[in-house]
């Protein structure tokens, strides 16, 4: 026959219950290191590595409170957000003040995609929405720079490729190297400082920033948000040359120009002197040909215009009218001379006639003019005895008294 001992239950406080539950959870090794997958929900504010973050993880049938403290959240490279499926590693804990069971997350990765790849896409989308990739913000790369600044590792292959190709293509350009780390935790800070200081110096016409190829982890410094904003704010035209053809970084999207390799960046930064020589030689030949052609054409036009000007010249018309005027003047002078000559003959003829009719001339032949009391005596019948007569001769006058027959 089975019998059981009936025991009286012990009265416990809430704190005792919570403390007991916490000790049970913390003593179970299976709950001290669990990997949980779920969807983030109820994240109240943007996830930040500078503070404690609280949210919930859920699946189709359940939900659990989750917390990720500052020391752990600062290592998360992507941006957790509501609706994102993640895989978390941590421990199960009980928080007595709120009586809440929760998952304390120590590490978090996105479910189905790498953390760095997700972080890259998230940052790319966010910065693009802010206008950091806008084409209208990009500055043209100077065609003939005097100085090119290069931000990269002083010992990497990139600096050798860049300096070699710039020297070969356009040897008159000065190169200023600003040495920095290009990978690792300290690299972003150095890259940001290099961009700002080299830009502020005003020494460069163009800046190249980059490195050789590598994994996404090795290139991650060029996906730093602070670097992206420094490149965006840079007043000097900047070329991003990170990795190889298949590599893309946030720095490439923000920069004024992106080169597939450091060698390609050198090609973008400076012209090729041999190509310039060939180009300007061709232009010189074309210019000479154009000048000669224009000279011949304008020479012909000038000759034609000279003929037209000569034909329509006022001087020529003046000379023509001046000749006509001189001819008319000559004719007029001849006519006047003839007229004067004819008039002279007429006058001489008239003078001869007058001379022949001159009473003095007649008197010179022995004749005289007889007047009596102012009357011309034409007949002796007009004279009475004793009349006082005036006799006019060719050489003067005299008086006489009529005596009769």
pLDDT higher than threshold 60 for residue 4: no
User: In this predicted structure, what is the pLDDT of residue 347?
Assistant: 86
Cα separation of 188 and 231, whole Å?
A: 12
Residue for token digits 């989308």? 125
* pLDDT tens digits for range 246-296: 778 999 999 999 998 999 999 999 999 998 888 888 888 889 889 998 888
Cα separation of 180 and 155, whole Å?
A: 10
Write out the two tokens for 387.
């009349």
Cα separation of 242 and 248, whole Å?
A: 7
Cα separation of 201 and 176, whole Å?
A: 11
Whole-prediction pTM: 0.57
pLDDT higher than threshold 60 for residue 6: no
**Confidence category of residue 1, pLDDT binned at 50, 70, 90:** very low
Residue 217 or residue 56, greater confidence: 56
- Is residue 377 within 8 Å of 352, Cβ to Cβ? no
User: In this predicted structure, what is the pLDDT of residue 174?
Assistant: 95
User: In this predicted structure, what is the pLDDT of residue 2?
Assistant: 44
Work out the percent of the chain whose per-residue pLDDT is above 90. 36
pLDDT higher than threshold 80 for residue 367: no
Bridge pairing between strands 206-211 and 238-242: parallel
Q: What are phi and psi of 133, to 5 degrees?
A: -100, 5
> With left for phi above 0 and alpha for psi between -120 and 50, is residue 34 left, alpha or beta?
beta
């Amino acid at each position: 026959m089975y019998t059981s001992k009936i025991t009286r239950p012990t009265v416990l406080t809430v704190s005792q219950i919570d403390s007991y539950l916490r000790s049970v959870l913390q003593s179970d090794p299976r709950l001290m290191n669990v990997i949980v997958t779920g969807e983030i929900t109820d994240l109240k504010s943007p996830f930040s590595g500078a503070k404690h973050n609280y949210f919930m993880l859920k699946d189709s049938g359940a939900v659990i409170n989750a917390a990720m403290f500052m020391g752990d959240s600062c290592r998360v490279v992507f941006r957790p957000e509501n609706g994102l499926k993640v895989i978390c590693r941590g421990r199960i804990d009980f928080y007595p003040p709120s009586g809440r069971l929760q998952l304390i997350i120590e590490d978090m990765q996105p479910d189905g995609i790498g953390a760095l790849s997700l972080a890259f896409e998230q940052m790319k989308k966010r910065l693009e929405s802010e206008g950091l990739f806008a084409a209208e913000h990009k500055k043209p790369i100077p065609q003939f720079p005097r100085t090119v600044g290069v931000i990269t590792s002083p010992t990497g292959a990139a600096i050798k490729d860049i300096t070699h190709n710039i020297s070969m293509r356009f040897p008159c350009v000065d190169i200023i190297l600003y040495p920095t780390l290009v990978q690792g935790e300290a690299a972003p800070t150095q890259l940001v400082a290099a961009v700002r200081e080299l830009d502020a110096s005003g020494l460069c016409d163009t800046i190249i920033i980059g490195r050789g190829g590598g994994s996404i982890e090795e290139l991650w410094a060029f996906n730093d948000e602070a670097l992206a904003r420094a490149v965006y704010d840079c007043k000097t035209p900047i070329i991003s040359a990170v990795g190889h053809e298949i590599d893309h970084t946030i720095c490439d999207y923000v920069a004024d120009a992106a080169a597939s390799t450091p060698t390609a960046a050198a090609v973008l930064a400076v012209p090729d002197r041999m190509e310039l020589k060939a180009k300007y030689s061709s232009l010189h030949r074309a210019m000479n040909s154009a000048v000669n052609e224009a000279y011949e054409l304008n020479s012909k036009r000038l000759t034609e215009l000279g003929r037209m000007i000569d034909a329509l010249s006022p001087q020529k018309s003046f000379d023509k009218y001046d000749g006509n005027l001189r001819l008319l003047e000559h004719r007029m002078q001849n006519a006047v001379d003839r007229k004067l000559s004819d008039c002279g003959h007429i006058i001489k003829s008239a003078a001869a006639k007058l001379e022949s009719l001159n009473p003095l001339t007649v008197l010179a032949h022995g004749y005289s003019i007889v007047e009596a009391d102012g009357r011309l005596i034409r007949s002796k019948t007009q004279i009475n005895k004793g009349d006082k007569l005036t006799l006019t001769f060719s050489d003067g006058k005299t008086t006489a008294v009529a005596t009769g027959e």
